[in-house]
Amino acid sequence: MDQAYTEIIVVRHGETAWNANGRIQGHMDVELNEVGRQQAALLADRLSLEPEISAIYSSDLKRALETAETIAERCGKFEVIKDPDLRERHLGDVQGLLFREAAKVCPEAYSAFSSRRTDQVIPGGGESLDQLYYRATSSLQRIGQKHTGERVVVVTHGGVIRALYRRACSNRFRGNILNTSVNIFHLSGNDVWTIKAWGDISHLNPPGHAMSGLGGNKTSG
């Protein structure tokens, strides 16, 4: 690899039961479901066939950590480095609620959660988008500086990946962040972030296999 940048493969965790049911996760520590474990295994198989990985980082929440550990086992038995700064946004009082019921059950928190204001915190200890942005981008910047000239994997959450996109592209990404989607960032020594790949889930339907139904198009978290 070019010694002038770090290649960081940022992936979202596999599916959870709460993703499947439309329940808001945030910092709630939810495990992968069986579909999520299959997604993680397919992602791990893919990454094991690609150029060498130097390190694997993960959010310390179970859904990300299990995804990362699956990759680590397949790619050389790495010890996963846990970083709480890679956690999903804390979503305050809407955590644990179904999306379809949140506005009725907790209208003030849901209004804050839905706000486009980047400085809007969420009642119940929730973070603003700006707080998430600073936390997430600082974490990735530290990883990039530590691994210049190397290729590393980071397993995290939908909200974090949106924040990283905002740092690289100076605007907000409004589409879906899919379960186990691959998003490749190049971080250069002169503080320039470039996205080289985005939203790739080709591993979930590999050539020669029937459509798996593991497409990962679930709510972020």
Residue 16 marked as a ligand binder:
yes
Residues 180, 166: Cα–Cα separation, whole Å: 19
Residue 96 marked as a ligand binder:
no
Residue 63 marked as a ligand binder:
yes
Of 23, 19, 31, 220, the residue nearest 129 (C-alpha): 220
Of 136, 105, 142, the residue nearest 123 (C-alpha): 105
Which is catalytic among the residues 7, 69, 88, 127? Answer: 88
Residue 174 marked as a ligand binder:
no
Residue 162 marked as a ligand binder:
no
Residue 116 marked as a ligand binder:
yes
Of 12, 53, 84, the residue nearest 150 (C-alpha): 53
Residue 100 marked as a ligand binder:
no
E strands within 73-207? 81-82, 151-156, 182-188, 193-200
Please tell me whether residue 170 adopts helix, strand or coil conformation: coil
Residue 13 marked as a ligand binder:
yes
Helices 34-48 and 62-74: angle between axes, nearest 10 degrees: 40
Which is catalytic among the residues 7, 13, 69, 157? Answer: 13
Is position 79 annotated as part of the catalytic site?
A: no
Residue 18 marked as a ligand binder:
yes
Residue 20 marked as a ligand binder:
no
Is position 13 annotated as part of the catalytic site?
A: yes
In this structure, the number of other CB atoms found within 10 A of the CB of residue 181 comes to 25
Query: Which positions make up the binding site for substrate?
Result: 12-19, 63, 116-117
- Summarize the annotated binding site as residue ranges: 12-19, 63, 116-117
- Residues labelled catalytic: 13, 88
